[in-house]
């Protein structure tokens, strides 16, 4: 198992060791008894079997003992789990989003990132939301996992207690590139975290349209180099005609500002022939008009 | 090899066993109950989540028509039950007449249902229609469940009616008699189930406001 | 009654394909199931081997991500709906339940044939997705909404196939319950019924009462894909978690549909090869019912991380642990049955010992998943994949093949090569554990399931697992080859009525059984079905 | 050869008491009265709200039991069927209770 890096690790690992310990004891014990019986009472050694119908005392014993043991296991499981749903009041609140196939995070000051940075020994609460299908937010090192359900009522919290960088994985099957839906959480000492938190996003010479696309996981499905992933590539589409299917009827459309805007807002209305409908969600209330404009300008540059 | 002739197994799967048929029918009814049961779970959860919307939507349904259909089904249940009494007493003619009443009730029920559905569809409340697609949160679920559950129920009415028609035919042919009326009993059980489910559908959809 | 002479066995009675596929003889229907099941099983195995091959190394090897996702979905659908759910009840239940009860057929023979036909139609529907409509579903066998209503693959057909297969399962269950109630031979009370019949009885009730729920749920998925209402869409008041509830209300009890018949098999085979009565008959019989009942109330443990409410998580966790108790009782009773027996270590018994070991691994790892804290960590990881393969394949699968070795001489009146059967078992057993144990390790390391590609740190367990799959397939093919060779071998010595020294009624009749199952009145042992002290003398002739 | 005593060969049709037309008719009258009651409560008792839903379901259950007991002959059948129906009912109600526990506490 990985090193535990949150306050939950102790409780989870403890219940794991207790259950695994009891289980291995019984597994080894019963298997040994079984093998012993097979050898000891083999036909050659014991040609005449003794009929034993049963024994009520034994039945009671091996009903009561497992009952006690499983209740003990339940208890430790519950105790290890309880703190996971008891969020301290002073937790830093971050919105976490899942979408095919990218995690993204929104900090209280509006900072947007696609990997998580958190302070050491401070409680952090994540509100989990999904933009399309089910995802599951899984940090093995923190022993933590909660599903990201559209409608966004789920949450989790943790307090990292070991500096370092840990994997975030998606644990709920979410389609084609499920296994590539990865991110990381970096645990920094409080001062370093605060410095990072205050720092404005670095201004780059990146095209604003590209930034919008990166933030919204457009590029996981649409390539910039002409290769076919899930949706059509952006390369060289602007100003060209494509065959689309509208309500089951094929027709030709010019890829222009209007078509791109419509495809972002109502992705199901005109689907390019040969591609699946229903996988892309509407970005109508996600992107501003300015952002859509930036995207269109950027697509124009991809020749 | 020994030919132990003249022996047959006492309890055989090839014997006519009325009790077994009836038990089989009951077991089948249990699965039917749980088939609808799954939908009732959906109904309950969505009603818990969208309480107001469900109350508002139910105003769209016509209580008079619903009540009328309830009465129709209850009467038809009685006539089926009576037709079993009739055949037990050896009165095949009366049994057939009573079954025809049931069949008639099924037709009446479906006609009323037809008018109810077409009124909704006329208002654009069927899934996929314009009004349906723009219904406020929760109301669309109500109407979906309304169509799905009453539709499934109507399908059962049709199956039940076919079953009863078969019983009428076989009684006419003299294949169902005072000694051998398992089919009448089983068709009756099925018909009562249809009634039983409607008994719950009616208040849950028509009477909740 | 038919007028066929009593010593004509059911193979000879009629010839030709039509005499099989339209037969209402429960024995022939059982064999029809056997042949079709094994075919689909081999398809499923092939898909599984392809998946393991892709996972040998990280990165893309030879499958596209989408193809891989379709393969694991089809693997799940085939193995669950086409193999493991029908497996023991439809094959051995059909063949042996009436004989064990001392009757000549099930209560509704024609319904029985209809069940097989429905099964075949469902199977064709499931496999037809391979050739039309954007290929098989890529949703995982759970068809979780909302992905299952969004994806362009042929989910509709896969879901309808599962719906149809559900019908087959319901009708078989219905038939068995009525048969057990109505057709036991005089003198065989419920408490003198073989434990296999008890297990089937409990199983049938689950089939009957849980399957309709999945039926209606899957129909809702179809309606959703057809009308696009947003049934599970929160923005119009729906809830995606509701789908999971409905799905698991069936699919958890379905786990017991798969496991309970296997318990019945163990309870039959152990007494035969120890030549003594089963230890704690009543405890085993009633624990089947207890498992069936409590099993209805544990479905929520599949959803501990789905954002379920706190009280619900706790209730479902407690219930999950409670269902472990009757299972533990069974294991203890089986081991106690070995005590002071006269043990004859034949292949069927080997499979049973393998079953008990692997089922314990599966069951005990289930405890880890039933506890809240550890489930949060391990849910939806390879630990789960390892766990349920231990239960389903290491448990039920081994019981199925054990039963095949056990009843082989009765069904065909021939014998396979015991030595090769033992060797095949050994390879199969080693391969199995090599394939699935590393999966649990990978899960403990944090590798999520349904992964087309994985981080380099998970390489070692995946590599061992893939090697294991090759060993397993070797054992499997050797085992099946040996069984087939046994059938083809000419001039074998005739297998008598009771080659293993079994005591239940099927061993009193001819091998293979005649059309009416018995050529003379079956005789019950004095005190219960496994009363070896008063075993009726079985006269060969 | 030891033969088993065939003390109860319960094949064929077991004796069924014949239910009188009169009993069926009174059952129907009772059901109709109950229907009138639910409709009345729903139409005139709209200020009762949740209470009226509860009573509506309660009355529906009484009606269902009446149908099962009289029309479906549970009264005259083996007790087994009554027990099985009750078990199925309990099972279904526990599905409702368990799911409502989950959704009400979210």
pLDDT at D50: 61
Total number of domains constituting chain C: 1
Q: Which long-range contacts (CB under 8 A, 24 or more apart) does A57-61 make?
A: A58/C280, A58/C332, A58/C336, A59/C280, A59/C283, A59/C329, A59/C333
Position D49 scores a pLDDT of 59
Rounded to the nearest 5 degrees, what angle is found at the Cα of C266, between the Cα atoms of C261 and C268?
Answer: 95
Q: What are the distances in angstroms from CA C79 to CA A72, C40, C47, C143?
A: 35, 8, 10, 15
Tell me the C-alpha distance between C311 and C317, whole Å: 10
What pLDDT is recorded for position C2? 43
Nearest to C106 among B2, B13, B141 (CB): B13
Q: Are residues D26 and D68 in the same domain?
A: yes
What's the CA gap between C367 and C301, in Å, rounded?
11
Beta bridge partners of C381: C448
d(CA A84, CA A156): 7
Name the residue among D5, D7, D95 with its Cβ closest to that of C249. Answer: D95
Domain assignment present for residue C436? The answer is yes
CB contact, 8 Å: D64 with chain B? yes
Q: How far is D79 from D82, CA to CA, in rounded Å?
A: 5
Arithmetic mean of pLDDT, A206-218: 80
For residue D51, what pLDDT is reported?
A: 64
Q: What residues contact residue A145 under an 8 Å CB cut-off, 6+ apart?
A: A136, A137, A138, A139, A171, C305, C376, C377, C379, C380
Taking Cα atoms as reference points, which of D82, D81, D73 lies closest to residue D17?
D73
> Does residue D16 lie within any of the structural domains?
no
Question: What would the mean pLDDT of A117-142 be, rounded to a whole number?
Answer: 92
Beta bridge partners, B149, equal none
User: Could you tell me which chain C residue has the CA closest to the CA of B145?
Assistant: C231
Low-confidence ranges of chain C (pLDDT < 50): 1-3
- C134 burial level (CB within 10 Å; 0-12, 13-18, 19+): middle
Q: Do chains A and C touch (3 or more CB pairs under 8 A)?
A: yes
- pLDDT above 90 coverage of chain D, percent: 28
pLDDT value at residue C440: 94
Would C29 be classed as within a structural domain? yes
User: Domain range holding D83?
Assistant: 77-106
Sign (positive/negative) of CA torsion B150, B151, B152, B158?
A: positive
- Rounded Cα distance between A269 and C415, Å, is 65
Instruction: Say if residue D32 is in the same domain as residue D63.
Output: yes
Looking at CATH, the fold of the domain delimited by A208-301 is given as Cytochrome Bc1 Complex; Chain D, domain 2 (1.10.760)
For chain B, the residue count is: 209
D69 and D105 co-located in one domain: no
User: Chain centroid to CA C258: how far?
Assistant: 4
The answer to whether residue D70 is domain-embedded is yes
What is the ipTM, given to two decimal places? 0.89
Interface with chain D: mutation pick from C1, C239, C309, highest number of D CBs within 10 Å:
C309
Q: What is the DSSP letter of C534?
A: G
Alpha-carbon dihedral sign for residues A43, A49, A54, A59: negative
C431: three-class secondary structure by DSSP: helix
- The answer to whether residue B3 is domain-embedded is no
- Give whole-number Cα distances, C75 to B93, C126, C449, in Å: 57, 11, 14
Residue D48 has a pLDDT of 57
pLDDT confidence bin for A1, thresholds 50/70/90: low
Q: Do chains C and D touch (3 or more CB pairs under 8 A)?
A: yes
Question: Is there a domain that residue B11 lies in?
Answer: no
Which of residues B57 and C109 earns the better pLDDT score?
Answer: C109
Choose the weakest-confidence range: A165-179, B6-20, C306-320, C444-458: B6-20
Chains sharing 3 or more CB pairs under 8 A with chain B: C, D
Q: Would you call C374 and A134 a contact, using CB atoms and an 8 Å cutoff?
A: no
What's the confidence (pLDDT) of residue A204?
66
Residues of C with Cβ-Cβ distance to A42 under 8 angstroms = 343, 345
Q: CB distance from B57 to chain D under 8 Å? A: no
User: How many Cβ contacts (< 8 angstroms) between chains B and C?
Assistant: 154
Range of the domain at C514: 23-264+403-416+428-534
Mutation choice for B interface testing from D70, D78, D92, D96 by most B CBs within 10 A: D92
CB contact under 8 A, B196 and D18: no
| Interchain contact, D56 vs B208, CB within 8 Å | yes
- Look at strands A271-272 and A123-130 and give their pairing: unpaired
The answer to whether C7 contacts B3, with C-beta atoms less than 8 Å apart, is yes
Exposure pattern of C249-278 as b/e (b: 16+ CB <10 Å)?
bbbbbbbbbbbbbbbbbbbbbbbbbbbbbb
Whether B149 maps to a domain, the answer reads yes
In this predicted model, which residue has the larger pLDDT, B132 or A241?
A241
| Count of all residues that appear for chain C in the document | 541
- CA closest to B64 among chain D residues: D39
Quick check: is D103 in a domain? yes
Q: Which domain holds residue B28?
A: 19-206
Q: Are D99 and B45 in contact (CB under 8 A)?
A: yes
CB contact under 8 A, C377 and A140: yes
How far apart, in whole angstroms, are the C-alpha atoms of residue A121 and residue A143?
Answer: 16
Task: Tell if the CB–CB gap between D102 and C524 is shorter than 8 Å.
Answer: no
Show the low-confidence residues of chain D (pLDDT under 50).
1-13
B9 belongs to a structural domain: no
Residue B30's nearest CA partner among C210, D88, D91, C168 is D88
Chains that touch A (3 or more CB pairs under 8 A): C
**Chain C residues whose C-beta sits inside 8 Å of any chain D C-beta:** 185-187, 209, 239, 245, 249, 296-297, 300, 307-312, 315, 520-521, 523-524, 536
- DSSP classification of residue C467: H
3-state SS, one letter per residue, for chain A: CCCCCECHHHHHHHHHHHHHHHHHHHHHHHHHHHHHHHHHCECCCCCCCCCCCCCHHHHHHHHHHHHHHHHHHHHHHHHHHHHHHCCCCCCEEEEEEEECCEEEEECCCCCEECCEEEECCCEEEEEEEECCCCEEEEEHHHCEEEEECCCCCCEEEEEECCCEEEEEEECCCCCCCHHHCEEEEEEECHHHHHHHHHCCCCCCCCCHHHHHHHHCCHHHCCCCCCCCCCCCCCCCCCCCEEEEEECCEEEEEECCHHHHHHHHHCCCCCEECCCCCCCCCCCCCCCCHHHHHHHHHHHHHCC
The domains of chain A are located at 8-84, 92-198, 208-301
The count of structural domains within chain D is 2
Question: D99 at the C interface (CB within 8 A)?
Answer: yes
- Are the beta carbons of D91 and C523 separated by less than 8 Å? no
Question: What is d(CA C348, CA C333) in angstroms, rounded to the nearest whole number?
Answer: 18
User: For residue B8, is it within any domain?
Assistant: no
pLDDT per residue as tens digits for the range C413-454: 999 999 999 999 999 999 999 999 999 999 999 999 999 999
- Across the interface, of C186, C249, C297, the residue whose CB is closest to D4 is C186
Is omega for the bond preceding C146 within 30 degrees of 0, making it cis? yes
- The domain that holds C43 is classified in CATH as 1.20.210.10
- First CA to last CA distance, chain A: 48
B145 shares contact with chain C (CB less than 8 Å): no
End-to-end Cα spacing for chain B: 77
CB within 8 A of C68, min separation 6: which ones? C51, C54, C452
Shortest CA distance from D98: residue in chain B? B41
pLDDT of residue C147: 87
Number of domains forming the structure of chain B: 1
A 10 A CB-CB count for D44 gives 10
Q: What does DSSP say about strands A249-254 and A241-246: parallel, antiparallel, or unpaired?
A: antiparallel
C416 Cα distance to chain centroid: 23
B/e letters for B157-191, b = 16+ CB within 10 Å, e = fewer, are beebbebbeebbebbeeeebeeeebbbbbbbbbbb
CA C413 remoteness from chain centre: 25
- In this prediction, residue A238 has a pLDDT band, given cuts at 50, 70 and 90, of confident
Distance CA B187, CA B163 (A): 6
**Domain A92-198 CATH (choose: 3.50.50.60, 3.40.50.2300, 3.30.420.40, 2.60.40.420):** 2.60.40.420
In sequence order, the β-bridge partners of residue A98 are A103, A130
The reply to whether D92 and D57 lie within a common domain is: no
Nearest chain D CA: its distance from C365 CA (Å): 25
Our CA-based measurement puts residue A195 at a distance from the nearest CA of chain C, in whole angstroms, of: 31
Helix (H, G, I), strand (E, B) or coil at C62: coil
Nearest-10 crossing angle of helices B182-206, D50-66: 170
Nearest CB among C101, C177, C237 relative to B53 is that of: C237
Residues 6 or more apart in contact with residue C86 via CB below 8 angstroms: C33, C37, C119, C168, C169, C172
Rounded to the nearest angstrom, the minimum Cα separation between B163 and chain C is 17
* Domain assignment present for D12: no
Distance of residue C335 Cα from the nearest chain A Cα, in angstroms? 6
Give residue-wise pLDDT tens across range B59-113: 888 888 889 999 999 999 999 999 999 998 888 899 999 999 999 999 999 999 9
Report chain C residues whose CB lies below 8 A from the CB of A173. Answer: 69, 139-140, 144, 147, 380, 449-450
Residues C533 and C194 sit within 8 Å (Cβ to Cβ): no
With b for 16 or more beta-carbon neighbours within 10 A and e for fewer, the B30-59 pattern comes to: bbbbbbbbbbbbbbbbbbebbeebbbbbbe
**Model pLDDT, residue A5:** 87
Residue B209 banded pLDDT, cuts 50, 70, 90: low
In a domain, C54, yes or no: yes
Pick C186's closest partner by Cβ from D2, D6, D103. D6
> Tell me, what's the pLDDT at C190?
92
CB of B18 less than 8 A from some CB of D: yes
Answer for the pair C142, C247: CB distance below 8 angstroms, yes or no. Answer: yes
Q: A66-104: per-residue pLDDT in tens?
A: 999 999 999 999 999 999 988 998 999 999 999 888 899
Say if B81 falls within a structural domain: yes
Class of domain A8-84: mainly alpha
Listed residue (A224, D91, C45, D11) closest to A232, CA to CA? A224
For A187, list phi and psi in degrees, rounded to 5: -100, 120
* Residue A54 backbone zone (phi > 0: left; psi -120 to 50: alpha; other: beta): left
């Amino acid at each position: 198992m990985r090193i535990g890096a949150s306050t939950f690790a102790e409780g989870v690992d403890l219940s794991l060791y207790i259950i695994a310990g009891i289980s291995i004891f019984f597994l080894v014990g019963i298997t040994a008894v079984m093998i012993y019986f097979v050898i000891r009472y083999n036909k050659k050694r014991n040609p005449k079997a003794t009929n034993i119908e049963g024994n009520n005392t034994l039945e009671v014993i091996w009903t009561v003992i497992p009952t006690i043991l499983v209740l003990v296991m339940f208890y430790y499981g519950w105790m290890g789990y309880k703190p996971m749903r008891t969020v301290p009041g002073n937790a830093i609140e971050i919105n976490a989003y899942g979408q095919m196939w990218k995690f993204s995070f929104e900090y209280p000051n509006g900072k947007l990132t696609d990997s998580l940075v958190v302070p050491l020994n401070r409680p952090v609460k994540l509100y989990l939301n999904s933009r399309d299908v089910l995802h599951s937010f899984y940090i093995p090192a923190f022993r933590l996992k909660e599903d990201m359900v559209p409608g966004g009522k789920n949450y989790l919290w943790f307090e990292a207690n070991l500096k370092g960088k840990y994997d975030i994985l998606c644990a709920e099957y979410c389609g084609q590139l499920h296994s590539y839906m990865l991110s990381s959480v970096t645990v920094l000492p409080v001062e370093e975290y605060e410095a990072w938190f205050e720092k404005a996003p670095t201004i780059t010479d990146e095209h604003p349209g590209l930034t919008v696309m990166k933030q919204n996981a457009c590029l996981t499905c649409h390539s910039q180099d002409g290769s076919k992933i899930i949706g059509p590539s952006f390369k060289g589409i602007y100003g060209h005609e494509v065959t689309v299917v509208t309500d089951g009827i094929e027709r030709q459309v010019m890829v222009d500002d209007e078509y791109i805007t419509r495809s972002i807002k109502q992705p199901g209305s005109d689907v390019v022939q040969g591609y699946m409908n229903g996988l892309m969600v509407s970005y109508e209330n996600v992107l501003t008009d300015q952002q859509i404009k930036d995207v269109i300008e950027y697509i124009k540059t991809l020749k | 090899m020994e030919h132990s002739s003249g022996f047959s197994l006492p309890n055989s799967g090839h014997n006519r066993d009325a009790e077994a048929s009836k038990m089989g029918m009951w077991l089948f009814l249990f699965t039917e109950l749980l088939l609808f049961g799954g939908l009732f779970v959906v109904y309950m959860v969505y009603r818990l989540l969208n309480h107001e919307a469900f109350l508002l939507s139910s105003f769209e349904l016509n209580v008079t028509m619903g009540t009328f259909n309830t009465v129709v089904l209850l009467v038809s249940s009685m006539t089926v039950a009576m037709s079993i009494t009739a055949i037990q007493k050896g009165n095949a003619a009366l049994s057939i007449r009573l079954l025809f009443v049931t069949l008639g009730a099924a037709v009446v029920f479906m006609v009323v249902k037809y008018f109810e559905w077409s009124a909704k569809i006329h208002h654009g409340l069927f899934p996929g229609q314009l009004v349906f697609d723009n219904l406020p949160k929760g109301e669309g679920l109500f109407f979906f469940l309304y169509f799905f559950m009453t539709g499934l129920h109507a399908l059962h009415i049709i199956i039940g009616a076919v079953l009863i028609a078969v019983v009428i035919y076989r009684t006419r042919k003299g294949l169902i008699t005072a000694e051998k009326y398992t089919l009448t009993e089983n068709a009756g059980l099925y018909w009562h189930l249809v009634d039983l489910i409607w008994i719950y559908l009616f208040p849950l959809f028509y009477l909740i406001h | 009654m038919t007028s066929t002479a009593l010593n004509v066995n059911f193979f000879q009675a009629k010839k030709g394909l039509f005499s099989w596929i339209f037969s209402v003889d429960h024995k022939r229907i059982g064999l029809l199931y056997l042949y079709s099941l094994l075919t689909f099983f081999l398809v499923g195995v092939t898909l599984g081997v392809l998946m393991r091959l892709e996972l040998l190394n990280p990165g893309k090897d030879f499958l596209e991500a989408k193809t891989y996702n379709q393969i694991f979905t089809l693997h799940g659908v085939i193995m669950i709906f086409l193999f493991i759910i029908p497996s023991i009840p439809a094959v051995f239940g059909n063949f042996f339940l009436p004989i064990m009860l001392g009757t000549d057929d099930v209560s509704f023979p024609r319904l029985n044939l209809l069940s097989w036909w429905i099964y075949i139609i469902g199977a064709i529907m499931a496999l037809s997705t391979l050739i039309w409509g954007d290929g098989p579903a890529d949703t995982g066998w759970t068809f979780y909404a909302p992905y299952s209503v969004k994806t362009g693959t042929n989910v509709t057909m896969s879901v309808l196939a599962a719906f149809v297969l559900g019908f087959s399962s319901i009708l078989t269950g219905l038939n068995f319950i009525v048969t057990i109630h109505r057709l036991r031979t005089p003198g065989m009370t419920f408490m003198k019924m073989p434990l296999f019949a008890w297990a089937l009885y409990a199983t049938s009730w689950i089939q009957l009462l849980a399957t309709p729920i999945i039926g209606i749920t899957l129909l809702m998925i179809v309606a959703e894909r057809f009308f696009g209402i947003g049934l599970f869409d929160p923005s119009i008041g729906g809830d995606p978690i509701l789908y999971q509830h409905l799905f698991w209300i069936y699919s958890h009890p379905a786990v017991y549909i798969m496991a309970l018949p296997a318990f019945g098999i163990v309870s039959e085979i152990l007494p035969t090869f120890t030549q003594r009565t089963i230890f704690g008959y009543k405890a085993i019989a009633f624990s089947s019912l207890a498992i069936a009942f409590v099993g209805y109330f544990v479905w929520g443990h599949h959803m501990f991380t789905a954002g379920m409410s706190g009280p619900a998580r706790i209730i479902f966790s407690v219930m999950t642990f409670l269902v472990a108790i009757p299972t533990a009782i069974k294991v203890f009773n089986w081991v106690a049955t070995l005590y002071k027996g006269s043990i004859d270590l034949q292949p069927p018994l080997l499979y049973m010992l393998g079953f008990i070991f692997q089922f314990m691994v599966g069951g005990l790892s289930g405890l880890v998943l039933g506890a809240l804290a550890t489930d949060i960590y391990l849910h939806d990881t390879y630990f789960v994949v390892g766990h349920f393969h231990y239960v389903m394949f290491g448990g039920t699968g081994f019981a199925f093949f054990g039963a095949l070795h056990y009843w082989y001489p009765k069904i065909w009146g021939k014998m396979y090569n015991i030595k090769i059967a033992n060797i095949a078992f050994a390879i199969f057993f080693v391969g199995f554990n090599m394939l699935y144990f590393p999966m649990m390790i990978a899960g403990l390391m944090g590798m999520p399931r349904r992964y087309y590609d994985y981080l380099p740190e998970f390489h070692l367990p995946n590599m061992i697992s893939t090697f294991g799959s090759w060993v397993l397939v070797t054992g499997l093919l050797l085992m099946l080859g040996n069984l087939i060779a046994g059938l083809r071998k000419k001039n074998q010595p005739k297998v008598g009525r009771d080659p293993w020294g079994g005591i239940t009624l099927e061993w009193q009749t001819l091998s293979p059984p005649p059309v009416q199952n018995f050529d003379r009145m079956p005789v019950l042992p004095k005190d219960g079905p496994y009363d070896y002290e008063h075993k009726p003398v079985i006269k060969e002739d | 050869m030891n033969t088993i005593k065939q003390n109860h060969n319960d094949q064929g049709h077991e004796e069924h008491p014949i239910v009188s037309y009169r009993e069926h008719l009174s059952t129907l009258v009772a059901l109709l009265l109950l229907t009138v009651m639910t409709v009345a409560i729903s139409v005139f008792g709209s200020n009762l709200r949740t209470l009226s839903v509860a009573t509506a379901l309660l009355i529906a259950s009484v009606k269902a039991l009446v149908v099962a007991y009289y029309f479906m002959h549970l009264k005259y059948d083996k007790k087994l069927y009554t027990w099985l129906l009750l078990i199925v009912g309990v099972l279904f109600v526990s599905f409702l209770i368990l799911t409502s526990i989950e959704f009400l506490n979210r």
